[in-house]
A and B are shown apart, each in its own frame.
Chain A
């Protein structure tokens, strides 16, 4: 638990909050607050002092006005599936959860727009429109549970970002309650904005600019056809080279996912998906689009990956085979749990052409620290998820796992990459921000944040490192990377 130095929650505040949202909108008991002490990032824990569960924008606004008057900081939360501790209360006694604001408000099929409350679950958006041949394109692997509000906070990605972009490319307008309780309508169903692109500034701001209560999203035409290939390689080097070969040929698949031998074997042991256990690496390449010409593209991809060293290429013959391949990929992390008592997942990015280099570096890091590291990731956009295996009962191995994780991130940065492709900075990577941003850059970012939140009461102590607040992480990251 992390109470503030002196609790600011008093009886009067509680009475006023009760007036605003009623008893059923408030969670006050320690046992119930306990489960809110972390999200998908479980290394650090801190329970809020109170949890508020508003149902409407006006409730959110009333709450934030009250907190503003009292100078109390808060942390917003959606479904709590984030992987970087974005909704961990750090010096924020109040947590505001949007999960009850989950109505789909309006669907305009002809314009391909949908307006939803921010607590709507990502997949529910697609489910609402798929009968009309539309989808909501950003599909983080947590899409069955994560909320649109959380996606906006984290600028979520997914396996299909290479072709379809990330959340920010699909959010046209938001209704946001600013930290002072003021409600601002920004953007709208139109593609052009009037004035500064504040929506663009809010997406990815990790809840530090206010609480988004509604969003107008772009919908995308669902692909009419898929071709899913499994390309089998003797080693990761050739597999990653094949990724660049495909892109260089002007083909942009819907997704290119890679698994190395350690992951292949774990997946096979768990699910018997028919992957070749002797392979050094496999790529799952999925083409999507109109039916015409897709076989030609599949043929070309097949030739390209063979040219890059694939010794076998299998094409999923039907929907069932395609589903099996994707199940193997999506459940890979679950399978990894069988290889070691603990595992830590990193989320780094390198330019796609540097994939062979970063994988070589990871092998070297693995050997240097004498620790096992598996790889399963979105190869198409250079977004790697190395999985570091360890046993937390072994203090030395635990320490080596931490160091290996850091070394991988540093290697990404040295190769012109970034600290995070889709999990966000949150609390997890604040300390590493200076690796890619200068003090001036960070200062400008904090200034930008204060445009929305001058008092820094919205999700304080996140994203931008605060001097002197850097703590040594004592346990590696054990989590599902998605």
Chain B
């Protein structure tokens, strides 16, 4: 779209939502969208969708700007910022449910629920810049996935604006509900390609009374991974992170493979679990609690390997993860027990290098009946890579049908998801 067309479009958008609601993108957003609109409610979102569908203009919710900036080959014309659609509609602590608009960040939500000793235990990196909408769209998870599951296990209701500007809702505000199809699952991890999520309903969980981390370092990766596997088998943990030497170094620990075993619960439970975990980790382990533990956890959660040439997420059967990591030769932060790890390398000087590395990793993941998703690549190369695996034929055919059904005019964040959807 030319500059002139864009400014014409901006004026048309201003006519819909008002001039104050249309702005130029920030540096981060610019790679994702050319014009940013900040509607005030779902009705305005619907009007914007109607406009874009009528004129065949691509649009995307921009809450996941970081992700979109990576995976989009080119910016969409219209970025929908839900920054103003960020109210908490209803928080019912005794029901352990919360209804909140998609523009609210996880961090803001959790500050609210903390007063009642609860939290939304979805913990992707950077809760203060991850909106609920982005959480649903990109479905990133963190260390707590071992004990609390991921966003797909926590989302119980959703409202979105679909094609033809239709307001759609699925699920409800009860924790157990089998009425109708599960639209929540369809939206989770759909990267905004099926509509604009405006409101979410989540289960929240009690924040454990105490949280403590046992940290152990190992001379080599094999020992660390084996210790983690044994620990997972024997002790119920709330997280079990294994990091390679470079990650440990970046997080401020000794540059050796490290295992972070999180235990939580009452004082008695924590004491017992630490004894168990400590016995298995041996004398090399250290126990940290309270503020120190919280800091360690945040470091793990937010680690993003910013200086890497390429970061990918590998997901395989949990017992296969150690072998996959070893074969990949990559640096990593692993959610052991879940079979998921973020792997990365700094060594890549050109696109060919990256391509070879990625092909190698993909082959490893496939060999373990798993998959690989590229999270981030060095700016110079990101146009040249496929961020997603290609699903097998019949699955991809279904996905194409799903996309064309939910987005018949192809306006919702098109051209950057699996199979070019």
Q: Given A112-B318, A189-B370, A192-B313, are A445 and B271 also a contact pair (CB < 8 Å)?
A: no
What are the residues of chain B within 8 A of A290 when measuring CB–CB?
236, 269, 272-273
CB of B88 to closest CB in A, whole Å: 16
Kindly identify, within residues 437 to 464 of chain A, every residue whose CB is under 8 Å from any CB belonging to chain B.
Answer: 437-438, 440-445, 447-452, 454, 463-464
The answer to whether A111 touches B189 (Cβ under 8 A) is no
Kindly identify, within residues 159 to 186 of chain B, every residue whose CB is under 8 Å from any CB belonging to chain A.
Answer: 162, 166-170, 172-186
The answer to whether A196 touches B168 (Cβ under 8 A) is no
Kindly identify, within residues 127 to 183 of chain A, every residue whose CB is under 8 Å from any CB belonging to chain B.
Answer: 154-155, 157, 161-162, 165-166, 168-169, 178, 182-183
Taking each of A191, A247, A464, which has the highest tally of chain B beta carbons within 10 Å of its own beta carbon?
A: A191
Select which of B168, B176, B189, B402 is within 8 A of A166 by beta carbon: B176
Q: Is A350 an interface residue (CB 8 A)?
A: yes
CB of A314 to closest CB in B, whole Å: 23
**Hey, which bits of chain A sit against chain B, CB under 8 A?**
108, 110-113, 154-155, 157, 161-162, 165-166, 168-169, 178, 182-186, 188-201, 203-205, 221, 244, 247-248, 250-252, 289-293, 296-297, 349-353, 378, 381-383, 416-425, 429, 433, 436-438, 440-445, 447-452, 454, 463-464
Q: Given A155-B182, A197-B189, A421-B178, are A108 and B317 also a contact pair (CB < 8 Å)?
A: yes
The answer for the CA separation of A157 and B395 in the assembled complex, in Å, is 27
Closest to B174 in A: A349
Kindly identify, within residues 88 to 110 of chain B, every residue whose CB is under 8 Å from any CB belonging to chain A.
Answer: 92-97
Q: Is B209 an interface residue (CB 8 A)?
A: yes
Select which of B116, B174, B396 is within 8 A of A350 by beta carbon: B174
Query: Which 7 residue pairs are nearest across A and B when measured between Cβ atoms?
Result: A200-B185, A292-B272, A250-B206, A192-B315, A110-B319, A293-B268, A189-B317
What are the residues of chain A within 8 A of B391 when measuring CB–CB?
194-195
Interface segment out of the listed B22-30, B149-157, B244-252: B149-157
CB of B254 to closest CB in A, whole Å: 29
CB of B297 to closest CB in A, whole Å: 19
**Hey, which bits of chain B sit against chain A, CB under 8 A?**
92-97, 116-118, 145, 149-150, 152-153, 162, 166-170, 172-186, 188-190, 205-207, 209, 229, 233, 236, 265-269, 271-273, 313, 315-320, 338-340, 368-371, 373, 388-389, 391-392, 394-399, 401-402, 405-406, 417-419, 421
Q: Could you jot down 11 A-B contacts, CB within 8 Å?
A: A157-B178, A188-B369, A190-B369, A192-B313, A196-B186, A197-B152, A252-B205, A383-B176, A421-B178, A424-B178, A445-B183
The answer for the CA separation of A186 and B266 in the assembled complex, in Å, is 40
The answer to whether A200 touches B188 (Cβ under 8 A) is yes
- Additional A-B contacts beyond A157-B178, A200-B186 (5; CB < 8 A): A188-B369, A250-B209, A421-B177, A448-B183, A452-B398
The answer to whether A201 touches B175 (Cβ under 8 A) is no
Closest to B316 in A: A190
Select which of B150, B175, B373 is within 8 A of A191 by beta carbon: B150
What are the residues of chain A within 8 A of B338 when measuring CB–CB?
191
The answer to whether A204 touches B182 (Cβ under 8 A) is yes
What are the residues of chain A within 8 A of B179 when measuring CB–CB?
418-420, 425, 429, 433, 436-437
CB of A54 to closest CB in B, whole Å: 19
The answer to whether A155 touches B178 (Cβ under 8 A) is yes
The answer for the CA separation of A290 and B238 in the assembled complex, in Å, is 13
Select which of A168, A186, A349, A422 is within 8 A of B395 by beta carbon: A186
The answer to whether A445 touches B181 (Cβ under 8 A) is yes
The answer to whether A201 touches B182 (Cβ under 8 A) is yes
Select which of B173, B188, B371 is within 8 A of A194 by beta carbon: B371
CB of A118 to closest CB in B, whole Å: 17
The answer to whether B173 touches A416 (Cβ under 8 A) is yes
The answer for the CA separation of A425 and B179 in the assembled complex, in Å, is 6
The answer for the CA separation of A166 and B179 in the assembled complex, in Å, is 14
The answer for the CA separation of A353 and B405 in the assembled complex, in Å, is 38
Taking each of B177, B178, B418, which has the highest tally of chain A beta carbons within 10 Å of its own beta carbon?
A: B178
The answer to whether A436 touches B172 (Cβ under 8 A) is yes
What are the residues of chain B within 8 A of A464 when measuring CB–CB?
180
The answer to whether B168 touches A444 (Cβ under 8 A) is yes
The answer for the CA separation of A201 and B185 in the assembled complex, in Å, is 6
The answer for the CA separation of A108 and B97 in the assembled complex, in Å, is 34
The answer to whether B180 touches A441 (Cβ under 8 A) is yes
The answer to whether A441 touches B317 (Cβ under 8 A) is no
What are the residues of chain B within 8 A of A188 when measuring CB–CB?
317, 369-371
The answer for the CA separation of A196 and B185 in the assembled complex, in Å, is 8
Select which of A350, A383, A448 is within 8 A of B181 by beta carbon: A448
The answer to whether A416 touches B172 (Cβ under 8 A) is yes
Taking each of A162, A201, A378, which has the highest tally of chain B beta carbons within 10 Å of its own beta carbon?
A: A201
Closest to A443 in B: B166
Closest to B99 in A: A416
The answer to whether B394 touches A183 (Cβ under 8 A) is yes
The answer to whether B189 touches A190 (Cβ under 8 A) is no
The answer to whether A444 touches B162 (Cβ under 8 A) is yes
CB of B312 to closest CB in A, whole Å: 11
Select which of A182, A184, A351, A420 is within 8 A of B178 by beta carbon: A420
The answer to whether A204 touches B181 (Cβ under 8 A) is yes
Select which of A108, A204, A445, A449 is within 8 A of B319 by beta carbon: A108
The answer to whether A351 touches B369 (Cβ under 8 A) is no
The answer for the CA separation of A252 and B205 in the assembled complex, in Å, is 9
Taking each of A154, A351, A449, A454, which has the highest tally of chain B beta carbons within 10 Å of its own beta carbon?
A: A351
The answer to whether A194 touches B269 (Cβ under 8 A) is no
Closest to B185 in A: A200
What are the residues of chain A within 8 A of B389 when measuring CB–CB?
194
Closest to B371 in A: A194
The answer for the CA separation of A192 and B372 in the assembled complex, in Å, is 9
The answer for the CA separation of A436 and B178 in the assembled complex, in Å, is 12
What are the residues of chain B within 8 A of A441 when measuring CB–CB?
168-170, 180
Taking each of A186, A423, A448, A454, which has the highest tally of chain B beta carbons within 10 Å of its own beta carbon?
A: A448
Closest to A155 in B: B178
The answer for the CA separation of A438 and B313 in the assembled complex, in Å, is 38
The answer to whether A195 touches B417 (Cβ under 8 A) is yes
The answer to whether A178 touches B185 (Cβ under 8 A) is no
What are the residues of chain B within 8 A of A110 when measuring CB–CB?
229, 233, 318-319
The answer to whether B117 touches A195 (Cβ under 8 A) is no
Closest to A162 in B: B175
